[in-house]
Amino acid sequence: MRKKIVAGNWKMNLDYTSGMSLISEVLNMVNDEVRGDQEVIVCPPAVLVYSVAQLAKGNPKVSVGAQNCHEAESGAFTGEISASQIKSVGAQYVILGHSERRQYFGETNELLAKKTDAVLKNGLKPIFCIGETLEERNQNIHFQLIKDQLAEGVFHLSAEEFAKVVLAYEPVWAIGTGVTASPEQAQEVHEFIRKEVAAKYGEEVAEDTTILYGGSCNPKNAADLFAQKDIDGGLIGGASLKSRDFTDIITKFNK
């Protein structure tokens, strides 16, 4: 059975004090709302991962992730953070290939394949983001683009390794814009992604793969999105910064 996941991506928001308040509120609120087949993941900025993980440690329903890592094990890479360092402070996940990383930091599928390897090698799980810009959608090349992002970013993995990957479809035009993909638009792409996974790794692996939707997901639209057959939860940006909104989204699974 594939897991239902709601993951919060805090991006470069909150300082130590406000981050600690937010995670404390989330931990207090989620307990009764998270079913056995669900997981909540909180991805704070790197400097807060340790403190957030310390607080979340006693809660089996809440995991912690980083938002990026370097592809090397260690070395002279000033300002960077390795997967083993992230692992050592208590995280379980790393978001990879977020469109902001691709756009502002020039991350390519080739680099992301290396980061994926580093994450898995260190016993962490990648939340691997894929998705098209509005221009790419208007040119009707989004399916091909997503196919390439998968093929070049994660399809070099063995089936056993791939089973640890969470995918996140995040149409770039919906991120932080308040314009969300319609449930039908999102479902169409999620179904395509699952078919690609099935073609590469077989039906069973594809059925077990968690595919999150991300892009202006909020308490109002989450239920309709999560009701789609191939949408297994959300990667939440803006709405993950408010404990009530974030925990409300967690309650929107009806399947």
DSSP 33: G
Least Å from the CB of residue 44 to ligand PGA: 13
**Segment 153 to 172, residues that bind ligand PGA, using CB under 6 A:** 170
- The reply to whether 217 sits near ligand PGA by the rule CB under 6 A is yes
Contact flag: residue 225 with ligand PGA (CB under 6 A): no
- Binder among 237, 245, 248, 252 for ligand PGA (CB under 6 A): 237
Q: Does 9 bind ligand PGA (CB under 6 A)?
A: yes
Active site residue 196: no
Most distant pair of Cα atoms in the chain: their distance: 48
Our finding on whether 65 is near ligand PGA (CB under 6 A) is no
The torsion angles phi and psi of 43, rounded to 5 degrees, stand at -120, 90
Least distance between ligand PGA and beta carbon 34 (Å): 20
Tell me: does residue 235 bind ligand PGA (CB under 6 A): yes
Residue 250's SS3 state is helix
**Which entry of 71, 170, 190, 196 is annotated as an active-site residue?**
170
Residues 3 and 35: beta-carbon distance below 8 Å: no
Tokens of 72: 């090397």
C-alpha to C-alpha distance for 151 and 161, rounded to whole angstroms: 15
From the list 133, 101, 132, the residue with the least C-alpha distance to 116 is 101
**CB of residue 174 vs ligand PGA: minimum separation in angstroms?**
6
Residue 131 C-beta-side C-alpha neighbours within 13 Å: 31
User: Would you say 173 or 201 has its CB closer to ligand PGA?
Assistant: 173
Taking CB under 6 A as the rule, does residue 41 contact ligand PGA?
Answer: no
Contacts of 219 (CB under 8 A, 6+ apart): 239, 245, 248, 249, 252
- Residue 170 a catalytic site member: yes
Q: Which residues make up the interface to ligand PGA (CB under 6 A)?
A: 9, 170, 175-176, 214-217, 235-239
